[in-house]
Amino acid sequence: MAEARSSFSSTVRLDRQDPYLRLLCVNIFVRNQDRSLQFYVEKLGLKVVIDENYETGGRWIAVAPPDGNVVLALITPERNSEEYKLIGRSRHVVLVTEDVLAKYEAWRKRGVRFHHPPQMTLWGGVLTSFEDLDGNAFSLVGRDDWVRELEAERRAAAEKLEAERRTAQELEIAKQVQARLFPQKLPQLKTLDYAGLCIQARDVGGDYYDFLTLGADRFGLIIGDTSGKGIGAALLMANLQANIRSQSAMALGHPQRFLRSVNQLFYENTTSAAYATLFLAEYDDRKRSFRYVNCGHYAPVLLRADDSLERLCSTSTVLGLFEEWTCDVEQRQLCAGDVLALYTDGVSEAFDDAGEEFGDRRLIKTLRQNRERTCEDIIGAIVEEVRRFSPGEQNDDITLIVAKCR
């Protein structure tokens, strides 16, 4: 019966509401469930959707037409019960088909007892009626415009369901592809521990982080956020990542030229309204220092070992909006115990039920409270605090990089 249960649970939902509403079944009282089941399946061509025995309710059988939208429950009531008097009394079930005559001929040959051949009605349809083994009467009707309308609704519902299935499948593929765009391996450094994470609000999103091996003990940390949401933002993110990866050989020693080239490619290959914020840090593993460019991104937090705080503010405008673009490069020296946190607006702009934002203050407090932990644990603590503060639906991608100087 596992197959029957699966058929019943896969019914097409026409209303698409949550919670949905649909007609479950019509009760038909019969004397013998096995004999009636044989009639409905073998003679009418209905399918079994449920055949179960329950300790309190006895056996419950339900059959349905091929579309499965409504089922008939075949019930054998206890003798001397009020329901037992209803056996053979059903007169109100109406079945519709696109060809009444064809059904009439096919079912009559199988032994179905019809009251009369198909007849034209005053309302322009075709009608006949028949009885089951217990005398329960059913009407079988059809009318061209009815049938066309019902078939159109059924086809539209099926096409919508199929389109939703394809969209979900394509989104899942896009999600898997985008996941591969994030770093798959973490280069080992002597003087720096680091970790990154992106939790997307939708199946795919526009946040971006990356780790680049730049050679000669140089290492790149990148975090960015593209404009828009969903698929559009994900495509921009993929475009940006491809531009950065293809030009990264230029980054060593020439961060300004590198980012000018990235901006030019992003500008030429996207729409006029597309842009991205980006923070790039080029870390020297021998000197424990880094140069950085902040292209309109949220200012990363540099928490020093003595608990003082620095913000790494913008040194240029965003990427992709302007053909002519330049930037300034800043430099910082790290000491053992210094912690650098890079993040996107999904962290600082997460809001609670009152509309208050998580903000930088809570982020810095969480960073201070967890600074002795590993970088992965620090990221986990920040995400936990964000979700505790904003327990509702996630509205934006949450992306973080945390690096700590050994």
In SS3 terms, 259-320 reads as: HHHHHHHHHHHCCCCCCEEEEEEEEECCCCEEEEEEECCCCCEEECCCCCEEECCCCECCEC
- Alpha-carbon distance of 309 to 281, in angstroms, equals 18
- What is the pLDDT at residue 184? 77
Same domain, residue pair 148 and 209:
no
pLDDT band at 364 (very low <50, low <70, confident <90, very high): very high
Q: Which value, to the nearest 10 degrees, does the dihedral of the CA atoms of residues 314, 316, 320, 326 take? A: -160
Q: Is position 176 within any domain?
A: no
Indicate the range of 37-46, 55-64, 347-356 predicted with least confidence: 55-64
Q: Which residue has the higher pLDDT, 203 or 197?
A: 197
Residue 209 lies in a domain: yes
Residues 216 and 116 in one domain: no
pLDDT of 81 higher than 50: yes
Select from 124, 159, 194 the last residue of a domain.
159
Judge contact between 297 and 223, C-beta under 8 A. yes
What is the pLDDT at residue 125?
Answer: 83
Q: Is the pLDDT of residue 79 over 50?
A: yes
The reply to whether 110 falls in a domain is: yes
Task: Examine the domain organization and report whether 150 and 218 are in the same domain.
Answer: no
Least confident of 163-172, 264-273, 307-316, 380-389: 163-172
Sheet holding 58-64, edge to edge: 25-29, 71-75, 58-64, 47-54
For the stretch 119-144, pLDDT in tens is 988 777 889 999 999 999 999 998 76
| Predicted confidence band of residue 15 (pLDDT cuts 50, 70, 90) | low
32 domain-assigned: yes
In this prediction, residue 1 carries a pLDDT of 38
Q: What is the pLDDT of residues 223-253, one digit of tens each?
A: 999 988 777 888 888 888 888 888 877 766 6
Q: Is residue 167 part of a domain?
A: no
My answer on whether 147 and 283 are in the same domain is no
What is the rounded distance in angstroms from the CA atom of residue 202 to the CA atom of residue 220?
27
Give the strand order in the sheet containing 330-333.
207-215, 218-226, 276-284, 289-295, 330-333
> Are 150 and 165 spatial neighbours (Cβ–Cβ below 8 Å)?
no
Name the domain count of the chain.
Answer: 2
β-bridge mates for residue 193, sequence order: 404
Whether 192 and 151 share a structural domain: no
171 located within any domain: no
Of 36-45, 153-162, 390-399, the least confident = 153-162
167 pLDDT higher than 90:
no
Determine the Cα–Cα distance for residues 363 and 371; give it in Å rounded to an integer.
Answer: 12
The answer to whether residue 175 is domain-embedded is: no
Same domain, 204 and 329: yes
Task: Clarify whether residues 224 and 335 are in a common domain.
Answer: yes
Residues 135 and 257 both lie in one domain? no
Residue 266 forms part of a structural domain = yes
Higher per-residue pLDDT: 179 or 292: 292
> For the chain, what is the mean pLDDT?
87
**Whole-prediction pTM value?**
0.61
Q: Give 251 or 82, the one with higher predicted confidence.
A: 82
Same domain, 130 and 96: yes
pLDDT value of residue 12: 46
Judge if 232 and 362 occupy the same domain.
Answer: yes
* Residue 148 scores a pLDDT above 70: no
Both 142 and 200 in a single domain?
no
Work out the average pLDDT over 12-26: 67
pLDDT of residue 144: 64
pLDDT tens readout for residues 320-362: 999 999 999 999 999 999 999 999 999 999 999 888 999 999 9
- 208 and 97, same structural domain? no
Question: Residue 28 is part of which domain span?
Answer: 2-159
Percent pLDDT > 70 in the chain is 90
